[in-house]
Amino acid sequence: MLFDSITNDIIDKGYSISHYALPDELTTLLLQHITTLPKGNYKRAGIGRAKEHAISDVIRTDEISWITNNSIATCAWIKWTRSLQNYLNRRLFLGLFSFESHFSLYTKGDFYKKHKDAFKGEDNRVLSVVVYLNKNWSVADGGELVIYENESPTAFVADHSIATVMPFLGTIVVFLSEEFPHEVLPSECDRYSIAGWFRLNNSTFNKIDPPS
């Protein structure tokens, strides 16, 4: 079963790659949804949260559209991620509390340089999830996700990649957000994905988190 193998991978290695694994019905709904989503709905993605938010042509050039429960497809996606969250919480005691996600569109030449989705003590993103929605992707189209080993501060060899993932339709990647630097290599044509993050509850008495 899919959730079981994702969980076992996280326990064994901290990351999980499942090809053609997104349920067919959900994949069909999401594919249909992204073809009807006007390109104007996508905005240049920034780096950093809230106050530090900035647009950088050096780090990432993709465009994103945050997902809300405003359509049959996005509701089905949120429902699926909720069941994954519940499953992981029962098995791993990660205390995953909330989920946020966006559609990403990389057009020709777009990339996202090596980065981490969370930093210890700075953010409360615990687990990253990426799914791909590209029907006829070929190796020549590029746009690979490269996952790197976490550098130890004393290591001499940086850039040691542990996995390269083609963004084929229905492929699911899950990894511990603080542990794995990763990058998206330049894409040769329109590349669609969803990136999402399970987060801890970080609300305090004067700050609701995540900000809505």
Q: Which residues bind ligand OGA (CB under 6 A)?
A: 104, 112, 117, 130, 145, 182, 184, 193, 195
- Residue 33 CA to residue 28 CA, distance in Å, equals 8
Which one of ligand OGA, Mn ion, none is in contact with 125 (Cβ closer than 5 to 8 A by kind)? none
Cis peptide before 210 (omega within 30 of 0): yes
- Residue 16 CA to residue 172 CA, distance in Å, equals 8
Among 200, 209, 193, smallest CA distance to 107 is for: 193
Phi (first) and psi of residue 88, to 5 degrees? -65, -40
Q: Which of 63, 110, 117, 144 binds Mn ion (CB under 5 A)?
A: 117
User: Hunting for tokens 């001499």 — which residue is that?
Assistant: 156
The residue at minimum Cβ distance from ligand OGA is 195
Which one of Mn ion, ligand OGA, none is in contact with 177 (Cβ closer than 5 to 8 A by kind)? none
To the nearest whole angstrom, how small is the minimum distance from the Cβ of residue 117 to Mn ion? 4
Question: Applying CB under 5 A, which part among 35-43, 110-118, 153-161, 200-208 lies near Mn ion?
Answer: 110-118
Phi (first) and psi of residue 183, to 5 degrees? -145, 160
Which one of ligand OGA, Mn ion, none is in contact with 104 (Cβ closer than 5 to 8 A by kind)? ligand OGA
# chain residues binding Mn ion, by CB under 5 A? 1
Binding residues for Mn ion (CB under 5 A): 117
